[in-house]
Amino acid sequence: MSLSQPGLAQDPAVVETGRVERVAMGARLPLNGSVFSRNDVAVTAAVAGELDWVAEPGTRLAAGEAIARLDQAPLRLRREELQGLLEREAVNAAYHGKVVDRYAALSEAQNLSVFLLDEALSRRDIARKDMAILEARIRQLDHEIERSEVRARFPGVLVERDKLGGEYVVPGEMIGRFVDMDRLEVRVDVPIRYRARVAQGDRLDVVAGDRVHPGVVRTRIAAGDPVSQTFELRIDLPSANSDSIMPGQLVKVEIPLAESSMTLAVPRDAVVIRSEGSYVYRVSEGDIAERISVVVGAGDASLVAVEGELAEGQRIVVRGADRLQHGQAVVEPQ
């Protein structure tokens, strides 16, 4: 492949440029991981009844908002029945209370046997206990009425709906699945031999598509898989949001294998890899592209270490290098 001489190249090529940087970088092990929500719950029915309404899948709800609602009419009718029984028992208890008062006065005048007074006291006390039982049953029913409306315990999105309005459910039956989209974590399997390279609190970059998210190691699962010889690492994504990353997404995490050292680095997109070797295009002061052979070393999320005739701060072509030729003039878009 012949290289054109500066000044004899084709028309200027439109490119995007960056700079050669000097950064701390070391060898890293790239691993695949998956994103999970720390709050991923099954929405289940707490009481039996007919569903009146269930939110649409994809609905974002704040904490305390309703996910599903059961028909409350049967529960409220039962409450009315219990309230009526309570009022009737209150009348009965009041009557027996008056009987006790009369019998007590007669007993003091020795005009009534002790047996009749004890019997009246027993009936009054039983009526009062029946009132207490009915009050407890009404409170239980009020609790069921409250739980007939399933509410979100945290902000999130209903991602699955297994039941529709009009269907009958029993306690524990699954209605849907509710996921917190803000508290995310990455789970990645790391070879056991590298367990000493990561620790709780370490900061690791998580690459999702073309975006880099800062992650913090929350925990290392202290048991390895005897078959794969890996252990699970869980990485929190404190600044992530569902617009840029979501549960179920595959991501890449790089585990450091050696101590970092200062080295020259360029954006990954600046390196052109061909069968004859790797190279970058350096932009001279006259906006002329110069092909520079490099040896590619370790990398992180967005940068890769290189060795070659480069210096810190020099301009290099980041996008548009694939079709460039040595000596070709370049311009950046306005």
What values do phi and psi take at 137, rounded to 5?
-65, -35
Instruction: Give me the CATH number covering residue 158.
Output: 2.40.50.100
In a domain, 152, yes or no: yes
Query: What is residue 329's DSSP assignment?
Result: B
Q: What is residue 55's three-state secondary structure?
A: coil
Does 297 lie in the same domain as 232? no
Q: Determine the structural domain holding residue 32 and report its residue range.
A: 28-38+183-257
From first to last of its 334 residues, the chain has per-residue pLDDT tens of 344 444 444 678 889 999 999 887 767 788 999 999 999 999 999 999 999 999 999 999 999 999 999 999 999 999 999 999 999 999 999 999 999 888 888 877 777 778 888 899 999 999 999 999 999 999 999 999 999 999 999 999 999 999 999 999 999 999 999 999 989 999 999 999 888 888 898 888 888 887 888 889 999 988 888 999 999 999 999 866 667 788 999 999 988 886 667 889 999 889 999 888 999 999 998 889 999 999 988 776 678 889 999 999 999 999 988 888 888 899 988 7
Q: 109: Cβ–Cβ under 8 A, 6 or more apart, which residues?
A: none
Number of domains in the chain: 4
Counts for the chain of helices (H) and strands (E), in that order: 2, 24
Does 165 lie in the same domain as 59? yes
In a domain, 13, yes or no: yes
Instruction: Give me the CATH number covering residue 235.
Output: 2.40.30.170
In a domain, 191, yes or no: yes
Does 238 lie in the same domain as 263? no
Does 265 lie in the same domain as 323? yes
Does 63 lie in the same domain as 94? no
What values do phi and psi take at 140, rounded to 5?
-60, -40
Distances, alpha carbon 40 to alpha carbons 51, 182, 206, 267, in Å: 22, 11, 21, 37
